[in-house]
Amino acid sequence: MPPDFSLSDKIILQFGGSGHLGRALSTALHGAGATVVVAGRSPPASDAAPIAHESVDITVEASVVALRDRLLAQHGRVDGVVFNAVNRPMTGFDDDLAAWESSMKTNATGLFAVARVFGNAMAARRAGSFVAISSIQGMVGANPWLYEGTSMQTVPDYFFHKAGMLNLVRYLASHYGATGVRVNAVSPGGILNPERPLPAEFLARYGKMTMLGRLAEAHEVVGAVVFLLSDAASYITGANLPVDGGYTAK
């Protein structure tokens, strides 16, 4: 890997590593040369790569601060942060408001707590990169046609917090720009997950919405994250990089 694209000697902290994309991310970051620490409420399933795990509750600021202090004591710095944590308690439009509030506690308040605590830590060293994993559902409205004839449906909280994430990224990029800390987002489209097969009718319709005619594989998303963390992206901040097979450009 060319040096500019390498994460060699970088300490990268990833929030959210137990899901299909999360596991692909941590493996890719390790493969790019980073020392990877995955933080979450519980350790993810074991990975082939030697990746460290730390416990944290991002809805509690003191827990995020304690994580920062542990990492700085152990490594002396954090070079990059990937925010892939997500809580999806809503199952439909008419859910009790408690589900919406639970979603926002992680996906909005938790995001800001992590960004501020670790953004400040990187700003103190005048270097660093923060990458938030958003979604094309933060860029477009719901398309009910995709789900007709299936049990699948959209939920409002996901559209709300993924869109908010994109503008918070722009705000944070402005806030931290003078300190040398870059803040960007990656917005994946639909990702195939062998553990959760999707209905054939959905797959066919979704393919028609993209330029490449299909959903993504997880490994096709992670390269964008590695790039934004690397020195090759040293003049990129405040950006949102869709990785969606052309869905939002069509």
Burial class (CB in 10 A: 0-12, 13-18, 19+), 97: exposed
Distance in angstroms (rounded) separating the CA atoms of residues 207 and 4: 34
Q: How far is CA 12 from CA 79, 138, 142, 200, in A?
A: 6, 25, 33, 37
Residues 98-108: tens digit of each pLDDT: 999 999 999 99
Assess contact for 230 and 6: CB atoms under 8 A: yes
Catalytic, 147? Answer: yes
Sign of CA dihedral 94, 95, 101, 105: negative
Single out the catalytic residue among 147, 171, 206, 247.
147
- pLDDT given for residue 75 in this prediction: 98
Please, how many CA atoms are within 13 Å of residue 20, restricted to the half-sphere of its CB? 14
Assess contact for 182 and 129: CB atoms under 8 A: yes
Residues 45-54: tens digit of each pLDDT: 555 567 999 9
pLDDT under 50: residue ranges of the chain: none
pTM over 0.75: yes
- pLDDT given for residue 41 in this prediction: 87
